């Protein structure tokens, strides 16, 4: 069964056309044809996207992808301007990034409550014939049609607003970890791909050093090319300030911890978009069921060679978890301080 969570959608938007200017003459003695008094057409309605915290998916856009704003009313006699078309506001989740599908241009990033983005501007109303009277043409029959509204195809991407991203193979223990340190409740089971959607968990530490963790579906080799599920959600790590590579060091995994780490780092690097440039730490999980200590020793050597820090934990029993959380908080502070110094 496919997950209901939708983090990408394409929609077609068309703003309202402007109203037509009026061709009209007032009846007045000694004025040729009564004199021009055609009013202007109204402006077409525009289409806006607005970020709302009560939305957490783009599902509705998947099933209703076309939106059109109201057109402006035509002008009338007695220089009455047509009514403007009403603007159309579409609510999107916080963290929605908007692209023009035709050009690939980034149009906006809606990450805060109430952020608004104009994605299709309504057409200007046409001028009525009252605008075109001149000393030599006092009875103009000229008027303008309204301008068409902007029409676009948009690509919406939802990117989680988390400070820490968990990266690992299926069943590495990421979901167990996030359940143990936050109120998030991702599914936990002993088969692959129990996590089908990104989960956010808020971690509260003493001293106010809290942070938000994103647990994304497990990666497999070839994820950057679209293999498995993880590739669909790597974009959710793009806003994070720190990546945490989760490695199952137990014999039960049937894999080599060093090869797992190298593979994960390679997939992140090949995905690109700056993910591989983010600060990172490595977590050796499931030490409670580790018998062969050489597996942990080999991973320690590989981590040191990569210039990273290693934390050994058991998400199931809680061993080493508190120490890991404070290490994450410390690295986040260091990252923020570094960014501030580079400005």
Predicted local confidence at residue 243, as pLDDT: 93
The distance of Cα 99 from the centroid of its chain, to the nearest Å, equals 10
Residue 308's pLDDT is 92
Which of these, 69, 118, 92, 122, lies nearest to 9 by C-alpha position? 92
Q: What is the pLDDT of residue 194?
A: 40
Question: Among the three residues 122, 142, 158, which one is the final residue of a domain in this structure?
Answer: 158
User: Which residue range forms the structural domain that includes residue 265?
Assistant: 164-342
Over residues 73-77, the mean pLDDT reads: 94
Q: Is residue 3 part of a domain?
A: no
Residues 79 and 110 in one domain: yes
Q: Which residue has the higher pLDDT, 91 or 27?
A: 91
Q: Does residue 211 sit in the same domain as residue 332? A: yes
Same-domain status, 136 and 200: no
Mean pLDDT of the region 105-127:
95
Kindly indicate the confidence band of residue 238, based on its pLDDT and cuts at 50, 70 and 90: confident
pLDDT of 248 > 70? The answer is yes
Mean pLDDT of 140-149: 94
Q: What is the mean pLDDT of residues 45-50?
A: 97
Domain count, the chain: 2
Closest CA to 85 of 11, 153, 147: 147
Is residue 148 located within the same domain as residue 188? no
pLDDT digits (tens, 9 = 90+) for 23-46: 998 876 666 556 899 999 999 999
* 117 and 188 in a common domain: no
> Please, are residues 120 and 46 in contact by the beta-carbon 8 Å criterion?
yes
| Three-state DSSP string of the chain | CCCCCCCEEEEEEECCCCCCCCCCECCCCCCHHHCECCCCCCCCCCEEEEEECCCCCCHHHHHCCEEECCCCCCCECCCECCCCCCCEEEEEECCEEEEECCCCCEEEEECCCCCEEEEECCCCCCCCHHHHCECCECCCCCCCCCCCCCEEEEEEEECCCCCEEEEECCCCCHHHHHHHHCCCCCCCCCCCCCCCCCEEEEECCCCCCCEEEEECCCCCCCHHHCCCCHHHHHHHHCCCCEEEEEEECCHHHCCCHHHHHHHHHHHHHHHCCCHHHCCEEEEEECHHHCCCHHHHHHHHHHHHHCCCEEEECCCCCCCCHHHHHHHHHHHHHHHHHHHHHHC
Asked, for residue 276, whether it belongs to a domain, the answer is yes
Rounded to whole angstroms, how far apart are CA atoms 173 and 247?
A: 8
Residue 192 has pLDDT above 50, yes or no: no
Residue 126 has pLDDT above 90, yes or no: yes
If asked whether residues 70 and 134 sit together in one domain, one would say yes
My answer on whether 238 and 206 are in the same domain is yes
Read off the pLDDT band of 250 (50, 70, 90).
very high
Query: Does 125 have pLDDT greater than 90?
Result: yes
Read off φ and ψ for residue 200, nearest 5 degrees. Answer: -110, 135
pLDDT band at 59 (very low <50, low <70, confident <90, very high): confident
pLDDT tops 90 at residue 117: yes
**Average pLDDT estimate for 157-166:** 84
How confident is the model over 312-317, as a mean pLDDT?
Answer: 92
Domain-embedded: residue 2: no
Task: Assess whether pLDDT exceeds 50 at residue 1.
Answer: no
Same domain, 176 and 108: no
Most confident of 23-27, 134-138, 195-199, 312-316: 312-316
CATH number of the domain residue 180 falls in: 3.40.50.300
Average pLDDT over every residue of 159-182: 84
What pLDDT score was predicted for residue 88? 97
Domain boundary among 110, 137, 158: 158
Is residue 127 predicted with pLDDT exceeding 90? yes
With respect to residue 220, please indicate whether it lies within any of the assigned structural domains.
yes
Residue 282 belongs to some domain of the structure: yes
Shared domain for 124 and 171, answered yes or no, is no
Categorize the per-residue pLDDT at 185 as very low, low, confident or very high, splitting at 50, 70 and 90.
low
| pLDDT mean across residues, the chain | 84
Last residue of one domain, picked from the residues 105, 131, 158: 158
297 in any annotated domain: yes
Residue 137 sits in a domain whose CATH number is 2.70.210.12
Residue 197 in this model has a pLDDT that exceeds 90: no
pLDDT of residue 183: 64
Asked if residue 16 and residue 141 are part of one domain, the reply reads yes
Name the residue among 300, 319, 323, 318 with its Cα closest to residue 310: 300
Q: Mark whether 171 and 225 lie in a shared domain.
A: yes
pLDDT (mean) for 167-177:
85
- Residue 231 or 150, more confident: 150
């Amino acid at each position: 069964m496919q997950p209901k969570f939708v983090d990408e959608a394409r929609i077609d938007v068309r703003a309202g056309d402007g109203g037509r200017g009026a061709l009209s003459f007032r009846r007045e003695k000694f004025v040729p044809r009564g004199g021009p008094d055609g009013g202007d057409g109204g402006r077409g309605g525009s289409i806006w996207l607005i970020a709302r915290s009560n939305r957490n998916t783009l599902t509705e856009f998947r099933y209703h992808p076309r939106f059109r704003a109201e057109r402006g009313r035509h002008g009338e006699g007695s220089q009455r301007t047509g009514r403007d078309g009403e603007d159309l506001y579409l609510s999107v989740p916080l963290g929605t990034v908007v692209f023009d599908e035709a050009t690939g241009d980034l149009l906006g990033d809606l990450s805060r409550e109430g952020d608004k983005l104009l994605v299709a501007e309504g057409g200007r109303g046409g001028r009525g014939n009252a605008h075109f009277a001149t000393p030599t043409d006092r009875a103009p029959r000229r008027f303008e049609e309204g301008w068409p509204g902007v029409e676009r195809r948009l690509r919406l991407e939802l990117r989680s607003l988390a400070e820490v991203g968990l990266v690992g193979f299926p069943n590495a223990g990421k979901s167990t970890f996030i359940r143990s340190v936050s109120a998030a409740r991702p599914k936990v089971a002993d088969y692959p791909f129990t996590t089908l959607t990104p989960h956010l968990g808020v971690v509260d530490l003493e001293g106010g050093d809290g942070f938000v963790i994103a647990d994304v579906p497990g990666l497999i080799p070839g994820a950057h090319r679209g293999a498995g599920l993880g590739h669909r959600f790597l974009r959710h790590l793009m806003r994070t300030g720190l990546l945490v590579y989760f490695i199952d060091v137990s014999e039960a995994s049937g894999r080599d911890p060093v090869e797992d780490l190298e593979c994960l780092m390679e997939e992140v690097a090949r995905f690109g978009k700056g993910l591989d440039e983010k600060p990172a730490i490595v977590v050796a999980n499931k030490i409670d069921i580790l018998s062969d200590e050489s597996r942990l020793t080999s991973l320690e050597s590989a981590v040191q060679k990569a210039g990273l820090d290693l934390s050994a934990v058991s998400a199931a029993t809680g061993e080493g978890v508190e120490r890991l959380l404070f290490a994450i908080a410390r690295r986040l502070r260091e990252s923020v301080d570094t960014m501030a110094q580079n400005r």
